[in-house]
Structure 1
Amino acid sequence: MRRVVQFSTGNVGRHSLRAIIGRPDLELVGVHASGPDKIGRDAAQLCGLTEPTGVLATGDLDALLALKPDCVVYTALGETRPMEAIEQMSAILSAGINVVGTSMVWLVTPRQADDWLRGPLEQACAAGDSSLYVNGIDPGYSGDTAVHAALSLVTRAESVTIKEIFDYGNYDDYEYTGAAMGFGTTPEDDLPLAFQPGVVTSMFGGLVRNLADQLGVELDDVCQRFEPWYTPQRIECTMMTVEPGQLAGVRFAAEGVRGGTPVITVEHTTRLTPAAAPDWEYPPAEMDGVHMVIVEGEPRIELMTHLSHPSLDVTDAGCLSTAARAVNAIDWVCDAPAGLIGAEDIPPTAMIRGLMW
């Protein structure tokens, strides 16, 4: 049985925490929380369970390291505080504790990550003889598992497009996702942070370059594009209230270009409620969000992933699947050689063990 610490209990962390508690092959030994409203509370309370675990949340990282867990599930938001996240991850790894996580999305393709990020984490892994694996559903599954399945079905591929088409209206994350994408801003405001020059290629270009390397394709460039949609009417949703003239939809992509033509594209269409961007592509009827892989080739392949849950909306189900991509890898990562791990390093069957009991 693997001894596990959960680090953070937010949109993704509460799902991974619940999964750890429920898994018979994992033992929850600690929980990290940063908010005073969570510190001191039982782990069960923080993820919607009724039976106490006896494990209380703490903000003391050193106390959690002293528990000597086999693995830490790191789901704390790191993209807005990357240096602090690197410091925390490095402390865990240097202590000889493996990390699986969903934060710092650049690490989904660790071989494509820049030196400022990869360097200190590799050093920490070497110092602690530990391993680090980061994944999710997108970035993650759609660009490293679904796309591989689709490409295995063609004899020749002309182009590959990986799409997320989602309604984020019910996603309660304005602080990061909403603000970064600029929802609620006007055309007169500064360009949203997520769409400043080079940001899309920084966040998603690694997926494009990684797939190009796996296909043996030499790209001329990786470019980004961004298209805003401003609402003519008031839109109210969980994320926020958007007034007329404000941003309520975005469409953006990282494109790997060869010979002047995009051949590998990672594209997102994100709207707040179905009322936004009515001329843009929607998911199939009665679906709020899908991940798609489209391969133009011999034959043409269109592979779609749709998430649903009896009590969660599609964005929360996406957070649950994101958590699964980390939790399901714990056992393999704990036995892996020291270093940074990509999804391509893990045998697919290793991600599905221990799920049925």
Structure 2
Amino acid sequence: MAGGSYRVVVWSTGGIGSIAIRAIQERPNLDLVGVWVHSAEKDGRDAGELANGEPIGLAVTTDADALIALKPDCVVYAASGPERDALAIPDYVKLLGAGINVVTTSTTRLVNPHAYEPAEWRDQIAAAAKQGQVTLYASGIEPGFAADYLPLVLSTQSSRIEKIHSYEIGLYDDYGVPDIMSDALGFGRPLEYQPWISFPGAIAGEWHGQLRMVADALGVELHSVRETFDRAVTERTLEVAMGTVEAGTCGALRMQAIGIVDGRDAIVIEHVTRLAPDVAPNWPTLPNALGYRVVITGTPDIDCTFDVTLRDRKKAGIESMTSGAGAMVATAMRVVNAIPYVVEAEPGLVSSVDLPLTIPRQAFNPA
């Protein structure tokens, strides 16, 4: 920490990175000193122009070593892609080993680093953090808040808990990444197609860490994880961000990861994802295009529903997305707001449970 502020580098200028750039610029306690980009076409351009069109006088670079040489207190790692873990792990090791704290939205399974697999990669990251005497923290809105941290906050009102069921329910019509939407999830494909997410162990692998984080925090043993996976076809042709989705192909997914405690379904994470509101109308719904719900059955029964929306996309660094815009800002801010707490934390790999409440310092602006 220098001059009362934390020196920060943002790693990539995609959706989350652009939001982080604008937010850091507005915080008196955060000092944006560098931005990394992968593309040679972006190298040397103004970071603000890439974020939302307004220059800030800071050129981005493809030179990772030059950014490390700046000795930032923390890197906001927001690079994305289909091979994000394989590409991100070496970056984490390099940054942590150089004595730079890392907050990341890229490796979602690291929201619970204590359950992260493969163990070999976890051990590499942990060794680098120990070497550099720094900390790594991963978060987002889901994973990272809605289905893991929020249920634990709500449980502070509980006398007895029988079951926790967390939902993300939303439209993904504005998500235009075909290799994820079509290949991995199966949208726009006939039901005979087997997407990656439907393979045994895929759903459990994605959400096991969150289930275990909730179970461990509540002091119960998670015996196993059961999966459910269902699809529904659209009865009409849809024009969405990923392209044309023909009638009779997959237009909605419903997935559950169910944590078994004492032989019963006890902790459930469910995602219902549609390309249009009228697909699979009998599945769970919420009033708005994207929302979250936590239901705790016990004494007392607790039912919490929330959504995140956005009035000014340009100011936040978002120009294109509609229903997911607020969730993108929330995802970015889960790690940007955590920067001071991560820098001040004991070295190692931490989850939200390991940190104090990451209240956004110097963010309140009555105007």
Q: 1:24-79, CA deviations, whole angstroms, 9 ceiling, x for partnerless residues?
A: 111111111112332221011111142x2221111111111111111100011266
- The equivalent of 1:70 in structure 2 is 73
| Structure 1 residue 177 displacement after superposition | 4.4
**Which residue among 165, 171, 175 is the counterpart of 1:167?**
171
Runs of 4+ in 1 over 4 A off after TM superposition: none
Structure 2: which 5+ runs fail to align?
A: 314-321
Contact 1:78 1:85 in 2 (8 A): no
RMSD (Å), alpha carbons: 1.6
Where 1:143 maps in the other structure, the secondary structure is: coil
| Amino acid of the structure 1 residue aligned with 2:139 | N
| Amino acid of the structure 2 residue aligned with 1:347 | P
| Amino acid of the structure 2 residue aligned with 1:352 | P
> Does 1:271 find its partner at 2:274?
yes
| Amino acid of the structure 2 residue aligned with 1:122 | A
Structure 1: which 5+ runs fail to align?
A: none
- Counterpart CA distance in 1 for 2:182 and 2:16 is 16
Matched ranges for 1:85-234 at <5 A: 85-114=88-117, 115-189=119-193, 191-234=194-237
The two structures have a TM-score, normalised by structure 2, of 0.92
Contact 1:168 1:239 in 2 (8 A): no
| Structure 1 residue 136 displacement after superposition | 0.4
* Number of equivalent positions: 352
- Counterpart CA distance in 1 for 2:81 and 2:231 is 26
* Identity over aligned pairs, percent: 37
The two structures have a TM-score, normalised by structure 1, of 0.94
| Amino acid of the structure 2 residue aligned with 1:304 | T
- The equivalent of 1:326 in structure 2 is 335
Where 1:309 maps in the other structure, the secondary structure is: coil
Where 1:17 maps in the other structure, the secondary structure is: helix
Contact 2:309 2:325 in 1 (8 A): no
- The equivalent of 1:296 in structure 2 is 297
- Counterpart CA distance in 2 for 1:4 and 1:60 is 16
Q: 1:219-275, CA deviations, whole angstroms, 9 ceiling, x for partnerless residues?
A: 331111110111121011223321012111100011012354311001100001213
- The equivalent of 1:305 in structure 2 is 306
Q: 1:63-105, CA deviations, whole angstroms, 9 ceiling, x for partnerless residues?
A: 1111111110001126624222100111111110000111111
Q: 1:270-316, CA deviations, whole angstroms, 9 ceiling, x for partnerless residues?
A: 001213222212112xx111111100111211011211112453312
**Which residue among 256, 261, 265 is the counterpart of 1:258?**
261
- The equivalent of 1:43 in structure 2 is 47
